Structure 1
C-alpha cells in the first residue's frame, strides 16, 4: 500500500512544482520567517494596499501565469516554443500607448478610451501570433526559428510605432490595471489572472481545444486521419498566445504608464517556457496540464523573489534559472527516471512489503 500511495503521489504532474514550492518556502522560512509577513499600508494615493513578499509573488507571477497559458498550448501543439513573447509584449504595449496618446508623447488627456486601446493591443498581439503561427503551421518552420524573427525585430518595431519616443499616459485610471484599484488592497493583476484562468478553464471543459491540441502534438498524421486539422490547431495556439501577450502587455505598460522598448518584459519568454517545463509538460509536445503550468509560473516568480531576497544581482538571475532548467531536463530524462524507480524498489520499506 505504501508503494502504491508513493507511486500515485510522485506520478502526479503537480508533484514537481509543488515540491519546488515547498522547498522554496522552507528555505525562506529558515532564512527569514518575516518573508511570509503580509502588512497593510498605503500607496502614494493614500489608499490601503497589501504589501509583502507573498503579495509581490502573486502580483508579478500573475502576468507570467497568463503567458504560461498560451505557451502551454503552443508547446503542446507544435512541440516547440515561442521566444518572441517579450518582444511581442513591447509591440502590443507600444500600439496601446499610440492609441491612448496619439501622436503626442506628453498629452494632457488620453485620446481614446482605455478599452479601445486594449482591444487594439489584442488585435496586434493576435496578428503577431498569427504571423508566427503561419510560419510554423503553413511553412513548417521550427517554432524557435520562426519566432526568432519577431524576437530580433520586435522591439525595433515597437519603437517605430511611437517614433522612438516614450509616451506617458496622463490618466491615473490606466495605472489601476498594473497596480491597485482604490479601496481594494489586493493587486488588480490577481483579478486579471483569475479571469484568464476561468476563461481557459471554460474553453478546455466545453470545447475540444485541449483534446485536439494534444492529439496534434502526439501524432500529427494520426490526428489528420481522425478529422483534425493540424495546421489550424497550431495556428490557433499561436493566436491564443498572442492574446495572452496582449493581456500581459496591458499589465506591464500600466505599471509605469509608459514603456521602455529595450527593457520591458526582457527574458520573460524564458520564464514562461520554464514554467511550462516545471509543470511537468513535455517540451516536445503532446499531453499537457494547464494547471501545472500556472503553478509553475508562480514557482518561477517565487524563485525570482527569493533570489532578490538573497541579494542576487539581476544580471545573475538567468544563471540560477539555468541551473533549474538543467535539473528539470536531467530528472525528466528516461534513464534517470528508470534509475529512480529501481532505487525506490531497493528501499527497506518496499523490500519488506515485497517479501
Structure 2
C-alpha cells in the first residue's frame, strides 16, 4: 500500500463507520437517494449539498496549507462575497434580470479573488506571518461586509435567478454539488496533471531549496491565496443564494475552523508539503455526516464541537506511525531465537 492510500485509509474507515451508524439508527434510506420533483434528494445527498460551501473553502485552504500557510479570513471573505452580490441585486429595479445577476456574481468573485491575492502579497512580499496577515482581514472583513449592506440583511426575491445557485438542480443533481465537484476536478487536474502540484509541495516542503532551484515561490504563494479567496467568495454566493439573503454577522462564521479540520482529517500536514485534495473532500463529508449522526443517535446539538474534536483526535492518532507502532507493540510476536547448530553445541561443551 502506497503512502497516498495509507493517508486516505483511516478517513475512509471513519466515514464508513459514521454511515453505518446512521443506517442502523435511521435505516437504509440514509444512503439511498430519492428523486422528488426532478430533484435528487435523501439524507446523504442533502449532506453533500450542505457541505458544498465548506468543501470549496477547504479545497482552497488545502493549497494554502501546502505552502506552509494558513488563511483565517475565509469566513469574512465568504461574508463579503455574499454581501456584494445580494446588495447589488436588491439595489436594482429588476431582481429577475439574468444580466444583473451575472454581473453581481462576477463582481463578487473578482473582489474576493483580489482580497485573497492581497493576503498572498502580505505573506510573500511583505514577510508577514500568514496567521497574522489573514487574522487582520478576519477581524476587519465582517466590518467591511456590514458597510456594504449598511448594517442590514439584504433579502433577494425568490424569483431571482440568483437563488438557483443554492436551490436549483441540473440533471436532478443540486447545483451546489455540481459547482463543488467541478472545482475539485479543476484543482485536481491543475495540481496533478501539471507541474503546479510539485511546485506547491516544493515551496511548502523546503522554501529555501525551492528558491535556490529557481522556483518563483512568491508568485505561487500569491496564487494559492488568490484561489482560496475565490473559493471563499464562491462559497459565500452559494450560501447566500440558498438562504436568499446575506448576513454579514453570521454568514460563514467559524467556517475557517471547519475547513482546517477537514484538511487535517484528510491527511494534509499543517507543516506544508504533501497535500491531498481527495482526502480533504472526505474530511468535509465526515464533518457533514457527523453533524447528522449526532442528531440521529439522539444526542444534543451541543455535542457538535466536542464530537468534531474527538474525530480529529482519533484520525490524527490513527495516521501517526509512532502511535500505531506503540499501540500495536504488545500484539507483535517477538522473533524466535535462532536454533543452535549441533556442531556449535559440541564446541561449547
Q: Render the CA deviation track for 1:16-49: whole Å, top value 9, x for unaligned.
A: 21111111112112222243343333xxxxx443
Pair 1:338–1:234, CA change in 2 (3 A): farther
Pair 1:123–1:343, CA change in 2 (3 A): farther
Pair 1:277–1:52, CA change in 2 (3 A): same
**Structure with max Cα Rg:** 2
Q: Report the CA distance between 1:312 and its aligned residue.
A: 4.3
Secondary structure at 1:227 match in 2: coil
Computed over aligned residues only, the root mean square deviation of the Cα atoms, in angstroms, reads 2.6
Secondary structure at 2:202 match in 1: helix
Q: Distance in 2 between matches of 1:39 and 1:300?
A: 22
- The answer to whether 1:74 aligns with 2:69 is no
- The answer to whether 1:13 aligns with 2:7 is yes
Secondary structure at 1:13 match in 2: helix
Give the aligned partner of residue 239 of structure 2.
252
Tell whether the 8 Å contact from 2:10 to 2:319 is kept in structure 1 after alignment.
no
Q: 2:165 aligns with which of 177, 190, 202?
A: 177
Q: Report the CA distance between 1:267 and its aligned residue.
A: 1.6
Tell whether the 8 Å contact from 2:268 to 2:276 is kept in structure 1 after alignment.
yes
Tell whether the 8 Å contact from 2:49 to 2:177 is kept in structure 1 after alignment.
yes
Q: Render the CA deviation track for 1:282-327: whole Å, top value 9, x for unaligned.
A: 1111011211112221122111222233354445422221222333
Q: Report the CA distance between 1:216 and its aligned residue.
A: 0.5
Give the aligned partner of residue 343 of structure 2.
none
Secondary structure at 1:147 match in 2: helix
- The equivalences for 1:96-245 within 5 A come to 96-102=85-91, 109=95, 113-170=100-157, 171-181=159-169, 184-245=171-232
Q: Render the CA deviation track for 1:137-180: whole Å, top value 9, x for unaligned.
A: 22222222221112212112101112112222224322111112
Pair 1:10–1:223, CA change in 2 (3 A): closer
Give the aligned partner of residue 25 of structure 1.
19
Tell whether the 8 Å contact from 1:16 to 1:280 is kept in structure 2 after alignment.
no
Give the TM-score normalised by structure 1. 0.85
Which structure 1 segments of 5+ residues have no match? 1-6, 42-46
Tell whether the 8 Å contact from 2:267 to 2:279 is kept in structure 1 after alignment.
yes
Q: Comparing 311-320 with 223-232, which one deviates more in the overlay?
A: 311-320
Secondary structure at 1:50 match in 2: strand
Q: Render the CA deviation track for 1:192-237: whole Å, top value 9, x for unaligned.
A: 1222123213322443221111000000000001110222111111
Give the aligned partner of residue 345 of structure 2.
none
Q: 1:290 aligns with which of 239, 257, 277?
A: 277
Pair 1:331–1:36, CA change in 2 (3 A): closer
Q: Distance in 1 between matches of 2:90 and 2:160?
A: 13
Tell whether the 8 Å contact from 1:62 to 1:298 is kept in structure 2 after alignment.
no
Pair 1:120–1:49, CA change in 2 (3 A): same
Q: Distance in 2 between matches of 1:215 and 1:341?
A: 34
Secondary structure at 1:259 match in 2: coil
Q: Distance in 2 between matches of 1:280 and 1:243?
A: 23
Tell whether the 8 Å contact from 2:25 to 2:297 is kept in structure 1 after alignment.
no
Give the aligned partner of residue 307 of structure 1.
294
Give the aligned partner of residue 39 of structure 1.
34
Q: Comparing 26-35 with 273-282, which one deviates more in the overlay?
A: 26-35
- The equivalences for 1:258-269 within 5 A come to 258-269=245-256
Secondary structure at 1:265 match in 2: coil
